[in-house]
Amino acid sequence: MSARVIADPRKNRRVGLLAAGGAVAMLGLGYASVPLYRLFCQVTGYGGTTQRADAVTASGIKVAAKVVTVRFDANVAKTLPWEFKPEQIKQDLKLGERKIATYRARNLTGRTITGTAMFNVSPEQAGKYFNKIQCFCFTEQKLLAGQDVRMPVIYYVDPAILDDPAAKNIEEITLSYTFTETAESAAAALEKPIALSMEKPLDPARVRR
């Protein structure tokens, strides 16, 4: 004859909370490296990271005769259920000329998700001359369930690129973005189902040894 084991709902709840806390902590550590890496790239221009300029600085840039082509690329992390794409394939512009490009993003889920965009250009030698005046990548983007938005980026390529032996012959630049979910948004998604599951304690009659 088998003995019956009575499960303690309070113990189950404590175990659930510990598991949830551990999962959120590990997730936070993984996401913490993202802003630190981005800051390093922005300061150094490493890996083709673009620069940020204000409108006043941009207005003082003289437009040069040389024309370059900028192509647009869009990606999303596998864990982010968004649709994200550029609304133009490419743009031709003179060095120092300001242009506006737009991207479109759509939340494919039934929950609110906050994302952040990593960015770079290739070839990477062009990174320190590619300046963005306005960009959706400057701030986190929160999309409600099913929301569809257009996101602009205002940019120019600094004519100083002509003085750089390693970059002066560049004719084409690719601007690339990759959206990932923020740590807070991902953690909230994890916590909700765990909290809901703990509202229903195990039935002691169904726990047997």
Among the ranges given (44-53, 108-117, 179-188), the one the predictor scored with the smallest mean pLDDT? 44-53
Q: Does residue 70 lie within any of the structural domains? A: yes
User: Residue 10: pLDDT band by 50, 70, 90 thresholds?
Assistant: low
Q: With respect to residue 37, please indicate whether it lies within any of the assigned structural domains.
A: no
- What value does the mean pLDDT take over residues 40-52? 62
What confidence score (pLDDT) does residue 59 get? Answer: 85
Q: pLDDT per residue over 113-140, tens digit each?
A: 999 999 999 999 999 999 999 999 999 9
The pTM assigned to this predicted structure is 0.70
36: in domain: no
pLDDT in tens, 136-156: 999 999 999 999 999 999 999
pLDDT at residue 127, as a whole number: 96
* 76 part of a folded domain: yes
On the question of pLDDT at 201 being above 90, the answer is no
Residue 39 scores a pLDDT above 80: no
- Cβ-defined contacts of 77-83 (< 8 Å, 24+): 77/178, 77/179, 77/180, 77/181, 79/180, 79/181, 79/186, 80/113, 80/115, 80/179, 80/180, 80/181, 81/107, 81/108, 81/109, 81/113, 82/106, 82/107, 82/108, 82/113, 82/115, 82/143, 82/179, 83/108
How wide is the angle at C-alpha 35 spanned by C-alphas 18 and 128, nearest 5°?
Answer: 165
Q: Does 175 fall in a domain?
A: yes
The percent of residues in the chain predicted with pLDDT above 90, rounded, is: 60
* Residue 23 in domain: no
Number of domains in the chain: 1
pLDDT band at 101 (very low <50, low <70, confident <90, very high): very high
The answer to whether position 18 is within a domain reads no
The model's confidence at residue 57, banded by pLDDT at 50, 70 and 90, is confident
CATH number at residue 170: 2.60.370.10
Residue 141 in any domain: the answer is yes
Residue 50 is predicted with a pLDDT of 80
Query: Structural domain of residue 95, as residue ranges?
Result: 49-181
